[in-house]
Structure 1
Amino acid sequence: METPSLFKRCFAEGIGTALLVLIGPGTAAFNGIITANNNESTTLADIGVISFAFAIVVMAMIYSIGRVSGCHINPAVTMALASTGHFPWKEVVPYLIAQCVGGAIGAFGIVTVLGMDGVLLGNLGATVLAPSTGYFQGIVIEAIAAFILMFVIMGIAVDSRAPKEWGGLVIGLTVGGIIMMTAGATGASFNPARTFGPYIVDSLLGGNINWIQFPIYVIGPIIGAMAAAFTYNYIVGTRELPLANETIHNEVAK
């Protein structure tokens, strides 16, 4: 099967990231509206629902656009794959732009569904540190979350010996599990585009965003994802894994 053009793959990444933000942070924003109107605190059950929403949309996107673009929908994943030779560096910037633009479009989609309450009460599902979480601690937590995700991606999606038909289910459930564990501390982003979309749109529409925290959601995920990719390569040996062109071909052929 012929590899789709870079434009088509970036277009797919933009759509995938937009839908990720619409469904994932959108569910978090809706929960924020409910808790604000009822003067209640977010519960573990609420986190479970939000985690499940993320898991569902990640699974759906992998099975929908995985064969087109590889379904990175996360700049940290793209950079980790490139850093270990499983994705061409010359295509990294177009992918990152597509993902960030998609994240912003998805955030505007939340406004379309929830209205200004989604901005003023739900904060568009924007990630924020808990009062008890320090800045450096936040970076470490986001790095750990991205490490877990990327390690699983390497094992189930990149390694040619893995059962690829299970990739969407395994990765989606992993995302849900990570969110359950880390949402209370950092908001559980481990995806710079997922944080960027709600941040930029919330700021444009008069929401309350602390941009000082944004580097946490860039530095942590990139470090964690790269560390996971190199760690997996070290464990299994680079000769057991496909190189950049092979990875693209394998994703397209699924």
Structure 2
Amino acid sequence: MVGDLPRRLVAEAIGTLLLVLFGAGSVVAALIMGKGELTYAALGFISLSFGLVVALVVYAFGTTSGAHINPAVTVALAAGGRFPWREVPFYIGAQLVGAFSGGLLIVGGFGRRAATEFGTGQTTLGPQVGYGQGILMEALGTFLLLITIMALAVDRRAPAGWAGFMIGLAVACEIFVIGPLTGGAINPARTFGPYLTTTLFGGDAPWKEYGVYVAGPIAGAVLAVLVYDLVARPAREVPEEAEQGTAGEIAGARASSDARAGDVPAARHPQDEHLGDRVGHVARRRRRHGHRR
């Protein structure tokens, strides 16, 4: 991971700010356009907005901070041994600051009623959705997100360039399904920012439900990392020297295996043949000089 800690924290804060501003902000916009009603069609546009901003943030800051922009992602990667525990509090702090800043910008753009009337795009449990059900659905949504992150951003065998796009699609996908039940937060920071902003401006934030948006995402994220390591990517199958985001080691292993099975010599690069000709030519000249002596 490139970048010193302060620069990485700034990247996390900016990334989470953008997530809340253009994700939760799309909820406020949909409620305003729908005169307080949120239809399933509007939820589709909200899903698209979340997916796009997540993808863009991953492409923008993935090589700087990893673009976690989610405390559940940070904790899960640390639990899987892929992120230092000593940096977890700093990352989460930056994410929460960014989320709150994003909430403030929503109010700055839409006015105070964004908080007092529309809750700054906050997530709440749907009608007749209990705490246990909410935790389960948030865990399942975050499980999908982390499986995608592990497969496309962490696994060194992943094809290059697809991580941001597919992670964004995973976020959009879970909102389509879980949105009507819990809002599909799958991110404690995404819920924290709008809650705090709404409270600050005199709105009603359901803080008693916040535990759902912490326990569910963290449980689902940690489980996903453990399952992926156990089922899809045992550490012993991936060479430590393999580069991130390349499929070369898979193709190379298959080519090597096929060559051994069929005793087919590996094709040489033209430069190798040219080098071999030069070496042979030098050897022949030396032999001729030796005979003359």
The whole-number CA distance in structure 1 between the counterparts of 2:239 and 2:126 is 40
User: Quick check: which has more Rg, 1 or 2?
Assistant: 2
> Corresponding residue for 1:25?
24
Contact 2:155 2:244 in 1 (8 A): no
**Pairing of 1:204-215 with structure 2 (within 5 A):** 204-215=200-211
Query: Which residues of structure 1 form unaligned runs of 5+?
Result: none
| 1:107 is the counterpart of 2:103 | yes
Q: Read off the aligned partner of 1:179 and give its amino acid letter.
A: I
| 1:35 is the counterpart of 2:34 | yes
Contact 1:158 1:242 in 2 (8 A): no
The whole-number CA distance in structure 1 between the counterparts of 2:76 and 2:235 is 14
Aligned residues: 244
Query: Which residues of structure 2 form unaligned runs of 5+?
Result: 246-293
Contact 2:107 2:114 in 1 (8 A): yes
| 1:9 is the counterpart of 2:5 | no
The whole-number CA distance in structure 2 between the counterparts of 1:208 and 1:23 is 21
> Corresponding residue for 1:234?
230
RMSD over aligned CA atoms reads 1.8
Higher RCO (CA < 8 A, seq sep 6+): 1
Contact 1:29 1:121 in 2 (8 A): no
Deviations 1:133-167 (A, max 9, x none): 11111001100000010011101110000013010
Q: Read off the aligned partner of 1:116 and give its amino acid letter.
A: R
Deviations 1:86-108 (A, max 9, x none): 11111111000000000000000
The whole-number CA distance in structure 1 between the counterparts of 2:229 and 2:111 is 45
* Structure 1 residue ranges, 4+ long, deviating more than 2 angstroms after superposition: 33-37, 238-243
> Corresponding residue for 1:172?
168
Aligned-residue offset at 1:42: 1.7
Aligned-residue offset at 1:240: 4.0
> Corresponding residue for 1:56?
52
Residues 240, 87 of structure 1: alpha-carbon distance in 2 compared, 3 angstrom cutoff: farther
Aligned-residue offset at 1:250: 5.1
- Structure number having the greater helix percentage: 1
Match of 1:196 among 192, 199, 204: 192
Deviations 1:188-239 (A, max 9, x none): 1000000000001110110111110000000000000000000000012133
Contact 1:32 1:121 in 2 (8 A): no
Contact 1:83 1:226 in 2 (8 A): yes
The whole-number CA distance in structure 1 between the counterparts of 2:237 and 2:17 is 33
